[in-house]
Structure 1
């Protein structure tokens, strides 16, 4: 996600596909025209795959024309349903996407590629692997454009020190309880917005990460039933309630007008924000330089086991229904492994999914150097969280949020919230299983 918009706000195709079955009714008419030129339809965001990049690719590849379509989930669903899919699509890895067999496997293309090498793929690309049962292993169905461990924290150490509060360790993970304690101390020292967790982008993945850090799962082994009434899950829900009650950062009950922590942090109103490496791209603006000079990146906090989740891993995939897979792969090679990837890495707006691209990450400023070192350490702890093909986090996150709101207001206990959430998730799981067949 190397644009200047919040990474977790865009819905993936896989997330929306979880809401209903899709029938592929035909195939796109493929092949070259009389002049030997093949048209490849690319559905992406223009802020990420620019018009200049399209022109550069076509100049280098005169046998391919790119028909660019702005990414839109509803339009993608309609094209898939009509059997006329794009040839290359923006998306994030999703068990639902893979289980519906909508994405084409890429291993054979990768094996023959002179641009993208298998041994250059960082393990985060395993989020795009599917073995027929779960994500993380098996065939490869997409590639990461860029990513970041999302629950790492940027902190303005100057604000901590001014309030007499010890900053978060930049070498060892804090506990989640430490986060609230430091937030309370900063609040007492006069900081209005001590610590943000990007609540407005959804708390479902954070909740799941906390549960898995305690050695528990939120789904059963075959991913058909939810279990969020375990002590570990209730502890995670209670943490969210405690965070809201402590009033140490924005929640859905008290949201930020900007819809994200960025402006509050870069203007030195917020002392810390749960944002990954990519957030450093916001420091390039002149007005953020002072905050950048006193900022450091801290590892993802933990409730036990060290797990640092990547909730995005946004990249590209090729629909199984495309008749132009080979040409689409050439576009993917260019976008993921060519000049656009180099330019993205240089911008600091994300970590490349290819190891060889890390040499282009910006290192001029001390905070940039420090953030890269933390990111390297975090890579060891990036693992796929459970992902059911029958239910997306986008579907159950509103239920969790609504429940936690009630908890913050003192209307429900964490146990009551967990019981209601579990019932709703299992209803949705049953519906999703019926739809998938």
Structure 2
């Protein structure tokens, strides 16, 4: 879908609605028992910028009692966050998307290096972190190495996809392999064959190919073709390279075919969840976490399957474009209490509950074996996911512009290009010009 991942991944509201919100009992014996070796947090306010329903009232009271703090939860707002960071009065904890946020904020010296905290912790060890947590690392030049600046609460390899077995069978199509990825061209062809129309309008989408935003998907397709959207120094993009141009052409073909939500015709539902549940989508490009939505409906579960990430070329890559979790601003005033919150949230009862519900892959490798495998779908998804893990790699994003801003350029330029019949090469030139202006400004401001 063509919206920012911040709006697209509405997992938290779904989890709360289905009874996934944790009670204060989940705090028992966890946060109160940890000690990162720092000072007391007694009587202080712990400010968390996240979602308005991050925790229910009972859980919030439990956090306050266990950490001996007054908990203040603010709704995430990037404009407000930037203002608070600039004035050196930031929240103590910020909810963020590691894959897209870490380079931008770390390059500006706004994030706390968490490595010393990991070194002292008895419950959170860097050696236990799943490789996808590397999206939260930045070495001063590139994402994926160096200090850790945040932790994912869970993660998925976001170019994998879910599909409706019953719709494939109805169309007389062979089911995708559970081990060998489709080519992107095969994927597109299946999407066209699975699309159902009535009076010229799409009744059932054959494929949503951009579950985490168009820019991220173009990065992944370009990488699988053996190239990179970004230059080596991450200071510019080049959609005119053969690999990136091939990815851009694929997206134009997908958009013109009108077989799924795209930048010209967005999904009226806003995201895939309601559409897939209503039997109006045959394939949904979302990672393991999406299984939590499917699992609540026995009939939908029986009809659904999970598949490896398709590939545009011969370089098999299966990245994470989320890694949503928490980070700690460098100027935060209550870091010891913030770290105790981290230990509870990422290693304690909440982490175990997220695994039980099947909401994505656990951030800690020690919890992976606890993923639910009770139903046929859960067993199938687990087997597919296990075989996909070796193909994970960090695809670095630029520290000079936020990914949301680059997606905004695509949202503005692509619809006009499709409607006017603009060729991929000319569209690439326009994207290069507009995105590189933003990246140059960001690099100049960063110094």
TM range (shorter): 0.7 to 0.9
User: Relative to 1, partners in 2 of residues 1:78 and 1:9: Cα closer, same or farther, differing over 3 Å?
Assistant: farther
In 2, the alpha carbon distance for the partners of 1:189 and 1:66 equals: 51
Which piece of structure 1 moves more, 182-191 or 381-390?
A: 182-191
Cα distance in 2 between the residues matched to 1:156 and 1:278: 16
Equivalent-residue separation in structure 1 for 2:413 and 2:66 (angstroms): 54
Aligned partner of 1:75 in structure 2 is 80
* 1:28-50 CA distance string (max 9 Å, x none): xx9868xx433322222243444
> Structure 1, residues 37-75: CA drift from partner, whole Å, max 9, x if none?
3332222224344433332333333x3332222322222
Alignment partner, residue 17 of structure 1: none
Instruction: Report the secondary structure of 2:282's partner residue.
Output: strand
- CA change 1:161–1:171 in 2 (3 A) is same
Residue 54 (str. 1) matches residue 60 (str. 2): yes
- Once the two structures are superposed, what CA deviation does each residue of 1:320-379 show, in whole Å capped at 9, x if it has no partner? 101321221111111111111111121222221111222432222111121122222222
Are the structure 2 counterparts of residues 340 and 188 from structure 1 closer, same or farther at C-alpha, using a change threshold of 3 Å? Answer: closer
Q: Following the alignment from structure 1 to structure 2, what is the Cα–Cα distance between the partners of residues 250 and 163?
A: 21
SS in 1 for 2:444: helix
The equivalent of 2:444 in structure 1 is: 434
**In the alignment, which residue of structure 2 is the partner of 1:37?**
43
Q: Is the 8 A contact 2:162 2:283 kept in 1?
A: yes
Shift of the 302–140 alpha-carbon distance from structure 1 to 2, 3 Å rule, reads same
| Partners of 2:326 and 2:177 in 1: CA distance | 35
Report the counterpart of residue 348 of structure 2 in structure 1.
Answer: 338
Q: How does 1:238-387 map to 2 (within 5 A)?
A: 238-285=249-296, 288-303=297-312, 304-387=314-397
1:417 to 423, 427, 433: 427
Look up the match of 2:131: 123
Q: Which runs of 5+ in 2 are unaligned?
A: 1-5, 13-37
Cα RMSD between the aligned structures? 2.4
TM-score normalized by structure 1? 0.88
Q: Secondary structure at the match of 1:136?
A: strand
**Is 1:88 aligned to 2:96, yes or no?**
no
Listed as ranges, the gaps of 5+ residues in structure 1 are 11-29
Q: Residues of 1 paired with 2:326 and 2:318: CA distance?
A: 22
Distance 1:386 1:215, change over 3 A: same
Q: Who is 1:109 aligned against?
A: 117
Contact persistence 1:238–1:414 (CA under 8 A): yes
Assess if the C-alpha contact under 8 Å between 2:211 and 2:284 holds in 1: no
**Mapping for residues 124-163 of structure 1, pairs under 5 Å:** 124-163=132-171
- 5 Å-filtered alignment, 1:3-18, equals 6-7=8-9
Matches of 1:92 and 1:142, distance apart in 2: 9
TM-score by length of 2: 0.86
- What residue is the counterpart of 1:203 in the other structure? 214
1:198-257 Cα shifts (integer Å, max 9, x gaps): 648521100111111111112222112221111111111110111122222122222221
Q: What is the CA–CA distance in structure 2 between the aligned matches of 1:90 and 1:110, rounded to whole Å?
A: 19
Decide whether aligned partners of structure 1 residues 401 and 145 sit closer, same or farther in structure 2, where only a CA change above 3 A counts: same
Classify the secondary structure of the residue corresponding to 1:270. coil
Other structure's SS at 1:179 match: helix
> Could you tell which deviates more after superposition, 307-316 or 342-351?
342-351
